Structure 1
């Protein structure tokens, strides 16, 4: 098939799409969807069934667009469970920001007017741009997500169907039944019966899901970083899984994420099942599961200094966060101190100001405190130098007042500018927050000690200015280059805990 997809509108290149379908190229899953005129179904490019004749194929940029065109989801390849398009995390324009917010459940919670307000555009502008690029407006995109949430609950829980409909965000049982039949060509009861064949009994109160990704995926730095920096009481590594507490729109959650060869096993416990889609979206974002590792690695291999690192362990992801404000506070707490000291400072904050949680399966005790809960924090209570106390309280005040938007739909450039204007937040902190909270794939930290040591050992320039100049060839994937540079050091963030 050749090179992996780039950011052009792949679905419009018919010849390229046909080649991807005929070769069952899984790298294109999520980039476009194949609809088959003769069967009325739509599939992912890697669908295992015999490919249709090219003249019977049409291509759509989203599952929602295929559904709007009257096609139902293939029962073999389950196209609605494809990894998301890498574009939505890479790009910073209106459509990408809108897609990140829709995935986070904003349309279900606040409607299209709420989505438009978060983006700073009119409803008409948002609808027009989404329709032009994705073939579906925000309501249709949210509906497609509700259908996927409904199927997950149908297949992974023993909830009554009425509860499933409510939790998935449907306004009525009839709308729920009609949508499930229309999208999956099966009734909710038939879906549950089909999924139950050969599966073990469900554990009460827990949802067990598979989170797909594009191969390859190197779990070492991804889970190693999360485990090594875990805040006691908020996060932990237990029995081969990263576990943490979740603050969600309607309640609390606990999640366990376990890396496996072909997927990440996800076990969720939620106080309100309406938060399922949001929780999944945030976990995928945390683990960078919608990345296109082939495109990233192909570019970084072009640099002779990075090529051996990429070849040794391809598919490194950028560990991100489920709570952008939480990570920003932790980044400031971690300035110029060891990983262990940063964890201790964050754990003290969580124990003193976080909401308690019940975790019968492990050692999770608190949610990390919200910005609002920290807004009245007495700086003297922080065992930090005076300048860093001022930095923490200044950041918390700005976040609590909504002066900085670190959400998935936030403007990355505006957030950087506002962070940089706060006292005590230098370029390292701002770029680290951009990498982890804002999810900017091109964030770069040339002043980071680990990056400088790696650059020196590889014969790269080690001064910030010179290294920044060399890094221009790595754009727009410099955050991934940082992961490969960090991997040259002997630090727990680079390996899975034993």
Structure 2
């Protein structure tokens, strides 16, 4: 996108928010970089240059605009619609892998050398993994400076900086303000804030932070939050006071996220046992709600099909409800094979009570983390109240996850992982495809054998047999996972409605 100069200039001149996060505009005369929708008067085209990432702007010596705050843009949708090396690397960087394991750890997870990863990221994003991780640290630091009263030393540690000096130097370089000046400026700002600015925190619980998660409009919250609430596992998830709440297993500790849909943002309240987990928690919440999607591009393609067009026009902006823990979702998918939603929740709740790690939730009714594969590895199969064949499927999956033979994560190759899942006993296309869609994030995953999809197809006059429906759905590629959401919406199942 950033290499198409004419298109970028048009987007900046029209202040088109749809392109926020797709590219960044650096202004040669001022030395700052902005999001395309920056509210200031656009610079002359000859004074604009374009970069694919905030990190590339920073490396070129540009500072972040204090008005449009480009570091708070939604993420590029590219990284969640591709499965190549660069996209997988970006998902891992967002999950904090470089900060925890360094570039060698990132490369090892991807199965490439550090040099290959560095070269490909620089070629596409104009910055290497260290610079991209540094930009993320700067963004986390700014968030903590502006929304908490934490001491600066604690913020530096939480954001992943190796020293106070590095923290101070980075903040000054990126924002042209010292950390103290950033906090003073935030406190003095008027209460009327943009949709992309962090909301002021009013924590009543130690370790609690409140912020806003931006997204590209439109966003339809009905199926997104309805699905999460209808399938919530007691103790791990709940719908309370208009918010979806759940526990989080994070690299340095645990946490609780409360996510509330608003017209122009998602209100996010995070309670963390270790603040170093903040960027990872934010990344996983964004991934859970599919907030980096480009709904206009997706809906435009699906709307080209006359059968889907009325569904899209009725409620545009549907997202794919995903997960904060890929292994957890896979285990729950097996528990839900050929049973009702209520039965699947009951099975999962029993496992949580018996094997989950207890958590403290002073603000609600959450009690446990979902048990890890390691914790479930020692369970007695006979204790599982399910048919023997499904017990075998479940315990085999647990064993493969626990011993590392099967890896499910942000860096997973979608096709390769789907093939490996289908090789497991008891895994058919439905289970593999729902894991691909909701856990791995494949935007083109399709569920032609799903009963709800087949009912919707029959009602809409589409082919109802899996093979014929798959052939008919070829025109929806690469967005078939979003077509699934529109087809599911034709039913009256609770997953399609925002809880009241």
Equivalent of residue 64 in structure 1, options 37, 55, 70: 55
The aligned runs of 1:247-326 (5 Å cut-off) are: 247-326=249-328
Q: Secondary structure at the match of 1:437?
A: helix
Rounded Cα–Cα distance in structure 1 between residues aligned with 2:314 and 2:45: 38
- Does structure 2 conserve the Cα–Cα contact (< 8 Å) formed by 1:442 and 1:475? yes
CA deviations over 1:406-446 (Å, ceiling 9, x no partner): 11011111211111111011100000000011000000000
Equivalent of residue 392 in structure 1, options 394, 399, 422: 394
Q: Secondary structure at the match of 2:212?
A: strand
Q: Secondary structure at the match of 1:387?
A: helix
> Counterpart of 1:77?
68
- Does structure 1 conserve the Cα–Cα contact (< 8 Å) formed by 2:446 and 2:480? yes
- Does structure 1 conserve the Cα–Cα contact (< 8 Å) formed by 2:260 and 2:268? yes
Q: Does 1:442 align with 2:444?
A: yes
Per-residue deviation, 1:366: 0.1
Rounded Cα–Cα distance in structure 2 between residues aligned with 1:224 and 1:429: 21
Equivalent of residue 477 in structure 1, options 471, 476, 479: 479
Q: Secondary structure at the match of 2:440?
A: coil
Rounded Cα–Cα distance in structure 2 between residues aligned with 1:234 and 1:252: 12
Moved more, 189-198 or 485-494: 189-198
The aligned runs of 1:94-493 (5 Å cut-off) are: 94-197=85-188, 202-204=202-204, 205=206, 206-493=208-495
> Counterpart of 1:52?
43
Rounded Cα–Cα distance in structure 2 between residues aligned with 1:195 and 1:203: 17
CA deviations over 1:92-150 (Å, ceiling 9, x no partner): 10000000000000000000000000000000000000000000000000000000010
Per-residue deviation, 1:376: 1.3
Q: Secondary structure at the match of 1:12?
A: coil
Q: Secondary structure at the match of 2:10?
A: helix
Rounded Cα–Cα distance in structure 2 between residues aligned with 1:196 and 1:356: 37
Tell me the TM-score normalised to structure 1 length. Answer: 0.97
Q: Secondary structure at the match of 2:358?
A: coil
Moved more, 90-99 or 373-382: 373-382
Rounded Cα–Cα distance in structure 2 between residues aligned with 1:33 and 1:97: 21
Rounded Cα–Cα distance in structure 2 between residues aligned with 1:427 and 1:74: 48
Rounded Cα–Cα distance in structure 2 between residues aligned with 1:351 and 1:42: 50
Tell me the TM-score normalised to structure 2 length. Answer: 0.97
Moved more, 187-196 or 145-154: 187-196
Rounded Cα–Cα distance in structure 2 between residues aligned with 1:280 and 1:356: 22
Matched residue pairs, number?
489
- Does structure 2 conserve the Cα–Cα contact (< 8 Å) formed by 1:219 and 1:496? yes
Per-residue deviation, 1:23: 0.3
Rounded Cα–Cα distance in structure 2 between residues aligned with 1:336 and 1:307: 31
CA deviations over 1:310-343 (Å, ceiling 9, x no partner): 0000000000000000000000000000000000
Q: Does 1:495 align with 2:497?
A: yes
Per-residue deviation, 1:201: 6.7
Q: Secondary structure at the match of 2:254?
A: strand
Per-residue deviation, 1:202: 3.1
- Does structure 1 conserve the Cα–Cα contact (< 8 Å) formed by 2:201 and 2:211? no
Rounded Cα–Cα distance in structure 2 between residues aligned with 1:285 and 1:405: 18
Rounded Cα–Cα distance in structure 2 between residues aligned with 1:375 and 1:300: 43
Q: Secondary structure at the match of 2:2?
A: helix
> Counterpart of 1:26?
17
- Does structure 2 conserve the Cα–Cα contact (< 8 Å) formed by 1:431 and 1:444? yes
Rounded Cα–Cα distance in structure 1 between residues aligned with 2:177 and 2:107: 34
CA deviations over 1:327-370 (Å, ceiling 9, x no partner): 00000000000000000100111111010000011110000001
- Does structure 1 conserve the Cα–Cα contact (< 8 Å) formed by 2:201 and 2:210? no
